[in-house]
């Protein structure tokens, strides 16, 4: 290991991760409003523009926002690399918001003029973000599994964003389509979800489970194997998709990655069961729900290969995005945000004045209430979309809205905790 890890105090200013974290539930509210307004129509076809808008409100607005904040915060701690040009992260956040709103606005057909805005803003945001993070991660000499997973995630995101931009340009007539639309779509989804989102959650999971719940460490050899299998499948599926391969070939290409995902899930589940700490909190439940939804989502995806019913696509989307990714990122916010507030605002005051504890910054009863709403949203949206029941979908939207609003208020509550000054 060389000088890359010399400075151990490289945490970004607190406003950088927080602005990303606080934005996520606001997009959650927008997503919930769209489902409530349109009902089961958003679960009628994955080509439906409103469905694509909804998907991106969740993937970019919720999941990516939290992932970006987490990348900025975690890379120095987990990987030991300094993120360069950190002040630009504020611009990344600004252009992400503009880009997501313009994309969703364009897709729900407010105005075609919003698409060029979406393309420019998202390209700008992702180019800066990816340059910052890839620079940081390729400077790190250590090849710990988390570093490899983060690199896979970032490269997948870069490819997914490029494909997304190609697609918007093609559908709006900015340039001619280069590849067939369904190929672009499948490739975009595969790279964004399994590489981009899955890569980061798996990589971070290797470390945060032992950290937060005092479990045994994730076996390093297994972690390396999981990442290799995941990378192999990602590449193989991409090649198959580009060559319009049939279901059997695609399934074969997916198999190592799916097996690796299941092994990851079982390992983490086992680690949580055998954790040294006996305390049960909402974050543990968020992880458990996420770990249940993950293999179920893969089952729906595999089934869809042989039984191409759109409802399976929606079940996959809901389970993977809301059940797995949004749930786990939600839970992680409850671990990270109170700690960051404490660390930035109170850690230097310890021993001098009475400082609040993490449980005072974000009380447990606030988080467990939101957990219940998030779970209810999943339990209603899933059957609602599968059975195409409009009122159930709208009821799910209401739970999701309550859950997002509640998360937002919880984060604001934590964010308002400041040292008391006597002057």
Two tokens at 354? 């009475």
Quote the least distance from Cβ 9 to another protein, whole Å. 4
What would the two tokens of residue 42 be?
A: 């958003």
| Token code pair at residue 372 | 């219940």
| Nearest to another protein of 77, 248 (CB atom) | 77
Query: Using alpha carbons only, how large is the chain's radius of gyration in Å?
Result: 21
Binder of another protein out of 274, 277, 390, 418 (CB under 8 A)? 277
Q: Are 75 and 133 in contact (CB under 8 A)?
A: yes
Largest CA distance in the chain: 72
If the CB atoms of residues 342 and 399 are measured against another protein, the closer one turns out to be: 342
Segment interacting with another protein, rule: CB under 8 A, options 76-84, 255-263, 288-296, 406-414: 76-84
Does 276 contact another protein by CB under 8 A?
yes
Those residues with Cβ within 8 angstroms of residue 36's Cβ, 6 or more apart along the chain or in another chain? 394, 397, 398, 401
Site for another protein in 168-207 (CB under 8 A): 207
6 binds another protein (CB under 8 A): yes
Q: Which of 335, 393, 397, 408 binds another protein (CB under 8 A)?
A: 335
Q: Which stretch binds another protein (CB under 8 A): 88-96, 234-242, 339-347, 382-390?
A: 339-347
Q: Which of 87, 176, 273, 351 binds another protein (CB under 8 A)?
A: 351
- What is the CA angle 185-264-306, rounded to 5? 40
CA separation for the pair 403, 385 (Å, rounded): 19
Residue with smaller CB distance to another protein, 21 or 27 = 21
Member of 20, 212, 286, 400 binding another protein (CB under 8 A)? 212
Calculate the alpha carbon distances from 117 to 97, 98, 101, 261 in Å: 11, 8, 10, 37
Q: Specify the residue, 141 or 181, whose C-beta has the smaller distance to another protein.
A: 141
Q: Candidates 28-36, 72-80, 172-180, 318-326 — which segment interacts with another protein by CB under 8 A? A: 72-80
Member of 26, 36, 40, 142 binding another protein (CB under 8 A)? 142
3-state secondary structure of 26: helix
Binding of residue 247 to another protein (CB under 8 A): no
Instruction: State how far the Cα of 322 lies from the Cα of 330, in Å rounded to an integer.
Output: 10
Q: For another protein, which residue of 87, 273, 279, 420 counts as binding (CB under 8 A)?
A: 279
Residue 9 within binding range of another protein, rule CB under 8 A: yes
343 touching another protein, by CB under 8 A: yes
Which residues 355-374 are close enough to bind another protein by CB under 8 A?
A: 357-360
Cα–Cα distance for residue pair 421/423, rounded to 1 Å: 6
Two tokens, residue 240: 């198959």
**To 10 degrees, what angle do helices 364-386 and 310-317 make?**
170
* Backbone torsions φ then ψ of 353, nearest 5 degrees: -130, 170
Report the candidate in 367, 287, 296, 271 with the shortest Cα–Cα distance to residue 327: 287
| Position 239 contacts another protein (CB under 8 A) | no
> Which position among 52, 54, 58, 78 is part of the footprint of another protein (CB under 8 A)?
78
Q: Does 295 bind another protein (CB under 8 A)?
A: no
Residues contributing to the site for another protein (CB under 8 A) = 1, 5-9, 77-80, 142, 144, 207, 211-212, 214, 276-279, 335, 339, 342-343, 347-348, 350-351, 357-360
């Amino acid at each position: 290991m060389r000088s890359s890890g010399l400075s151990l105090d490289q945490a970004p200013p607190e406003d950088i991760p927080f602005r990303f974290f606080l934005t996520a539930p606001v997009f959650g509210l927008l997503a919930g409003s769209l489902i409530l307004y349109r009902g089961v129509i958003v679960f009628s076809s994955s080509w439906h523009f409103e469905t694509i808008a909804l998907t991106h409100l969740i993937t970019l607005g919720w999941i990516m926002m939290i992932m970006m904040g987490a990348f900025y915060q975690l890379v120095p701690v987990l990987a030991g690399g300094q993120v360069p040009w950190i002040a630009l992260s504020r611009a990344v956040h600004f252009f992400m918001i503009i880009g997501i709103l313009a994309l969703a606005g364009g897709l729900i057909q407010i105005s075609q003029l919003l698409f060029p805005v979406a393309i420019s803003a998202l390209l700008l945001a992702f180019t800066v973000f990816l340059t910052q993070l890839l620079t940081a991660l390729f400077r790190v000499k250590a090849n710990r599994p988390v570093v490899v997973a983060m690199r896979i995630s970032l490269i997948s995101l870069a490819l997914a964003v490029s494909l997304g931009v190609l697609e918007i340009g093609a559908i709006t007539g900015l340039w001619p389509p280069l590849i067939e639309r369904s190929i672009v779509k499948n490739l975009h989804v595969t790279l964004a979800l399994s590489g981009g989102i899955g890569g980061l959650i798996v990589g971070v999971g290797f470390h945060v489970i032992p950290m937060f719940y005092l479990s045994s460490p994730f076996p390093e050899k297994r972690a390396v194997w999981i990442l290799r299998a995941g990378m192999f499948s990602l590449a193989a599926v991409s090649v198959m998709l580009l060559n319009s391969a049939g279901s059997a070939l695609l399934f074969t290409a997916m198999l190592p990655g799916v097996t690796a995902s299941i092994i990851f899930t079982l390992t983490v589940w086992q680690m949580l069961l055998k954790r040294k700490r006996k305390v049960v909190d909402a974050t543990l439940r968020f992880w458990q729900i996420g770990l249940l939804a993950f293999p179920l989502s893969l089952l729906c995806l595999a089934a869809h290969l042989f039984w191409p019913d759109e409802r399976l696509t929606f079940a996959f989307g809901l389970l993977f995005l809301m059940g797995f990714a949004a749930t786990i990122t939600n839970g992680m916010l409850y671990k990270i945000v109170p700690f960051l507030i404490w660390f930035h605002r109170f850690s230097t005051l310890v021993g001098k004045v009475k400082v609040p504890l993490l449980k005072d910054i974000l009380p447990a009863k606030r988080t467990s209430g939101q957990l219940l709403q998030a779970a209810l949203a999943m339990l209603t949206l899933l059957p609602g979309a599968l059975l195409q029941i409009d009122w159930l979908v709208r009821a799910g939207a209401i739970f999701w809205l309550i859950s997002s609003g509640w998360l937002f208020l919880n984060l604001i509550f934590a964010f308002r905790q400041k040292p008391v000054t006597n002057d």
